[in-house]
C-alpha cells in the first residue's frame, strides 16, 4: 500500500470537514491548501479558517488576475482575519520571457502559453509545495473530463506528496448551496458566467451548454486544457 492509499484508507467515509481536521492534526507543518479564490476554494478556506486548522493557505499571484479576484481576496482576509501566503513569479524569469516574447505571446502558440503558465504558476507552486507532505485542493470531478479520471486522493510524483481533494464528489450545486448557507464571500464573476476563473487574458465567460472549463484558454483545443498545476508530470 503506497502513501496515497494509506491516507485514503484513514479518511475514507469522512466528511470534507473531518478529512481536513484529521489531516491537519496528523501533518501539522507539512500540509498546505492552494486557493485561487474560486467557489470551491472559498468553501475549503471557510472550513479551514473557521475551525482554526493548522493548514497553511497559499495563493499564486500571477500578476494577471481579474480585479474581481483581488476583491474576493481582500474580502476573505477581512472576513476570516487569517493570513493567505502569497507566491509571486520569479522576477528575472518573467522579465526575460516578456522581453523576448511580449506580454500577450500566449495567444500565439500553445508552447508560449505553457511557458507563461510555467513561469507565473508552476514555478511558484513548486516553491510553495517544497517540503510539504499533503496538498489540499478544491478540485471536483465534474469540472472537466480530464478531472473525472482523477482520484480524490492521489500521489503526486512531480512534487513527491499526496494530493487530497476533499470536495471531489460534490456537484456545483452542492458548492453553491454551501457558499450561500455559510455566507461565504465569492468572486462576483461567478454570477456572470465564469465558473472557472484564472488569469484575466486567458479566461472568458462560458456559453450555455459549454464545458465547465471552456472559458479557460478558450482559443485552444478543448480536449485537455490544464496549466500544469495539476498535471502529475509537470516539473517545470
**Which residues carry out catalysis?**
227
Positive or negative: CA dihedral 82, 65, 206, 156: negative
CA-based angle 196:198:200, to the nearest 5? 120
CB atoms within 10 A of CB 209: 6
Residues 81/198, Cβ–Cβ less than 8 Å? no
Residues 6+ positions from 184 with CB-CB distance below 8 Å: 42, 43, 46, 79, 178
DSSP single-letter state for residue 88: P
Compute φ and ψ for 159, nearest 5 degrees.
-105, 0
How far apart, in Å, are the Cα atoms of 9 and each of 2, 153, 163?
11, 10, 14
Instruction: Supply the Cα-derived Rg of the chain in whole angstroms.
Output: 17
Amino acid at each position: 500500500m503506497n502513501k496515497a492509499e494509506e491516507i485514503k484508507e484513514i479518511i475514507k467515509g469522512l466528511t470534507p470537514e473531518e478529512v481536513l481536521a484529521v489531516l491537519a492534526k496528523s501533518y501539522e507543518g507539512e500540509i498546505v491548501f492552494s486557493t485561487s479564490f474560486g467557489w470551491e476554494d472559498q468553501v475549503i478556506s471557510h472550513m479551514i479558517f473557521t475551525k482554526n486548522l493548522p493548514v497553511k493557505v497559499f495563493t499564486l499571484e500571477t500578476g494577471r488576475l481579474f480585479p474581481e479576484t483581488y476583491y474576493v481576496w481582500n474580502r476573505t482576509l477581512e472576513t476570516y482575519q487569517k493570513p493567505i501566503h502569497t507566491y509571486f513569479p520569479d522576477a528575472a524569469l518573467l522579465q526575460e520571457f516578456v522581453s523576448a516574447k511580449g506580454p500577450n505571446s500566449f495567444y500565439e502558440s500553445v508552447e508560449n502559453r505553457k511557458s507563461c503558465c510555467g513561469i507565473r504558476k508552476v514555478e511558484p507552486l513548486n516553491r510553495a509545495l517544497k517540503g510539504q507532505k499533503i496538498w489540499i485542493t478544491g478540485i471536483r470531478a465534474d469540472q472537466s473530463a480530464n478531472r473525472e479520471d482523477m482520484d480524490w486522493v492521489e500521489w503526486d510524483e512531480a512534487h513527491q506528496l499526496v494530493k487530497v481533494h476533499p470536495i471531489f464528489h460534490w456537484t456545483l450545486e452542492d458548492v453553491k448551496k454551501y457558499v450561500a448557507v455559510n455566507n461565504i464571500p465569492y468572486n462576483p464573476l461567478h454570477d456572470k458566467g465564469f465558473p472557472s476563473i484564472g488569469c484575466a487574458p486567458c479566461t472568458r465567460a462560458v456559453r450555455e451548454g459549454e464545458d465547465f472549463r471552456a472559458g479557460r484558454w478558450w482559443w485552444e483545443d478543448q480536449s485537455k486544457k490544464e496549466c500544469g498545476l495539476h498535471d502529475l508530470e509537470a516539473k517545470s
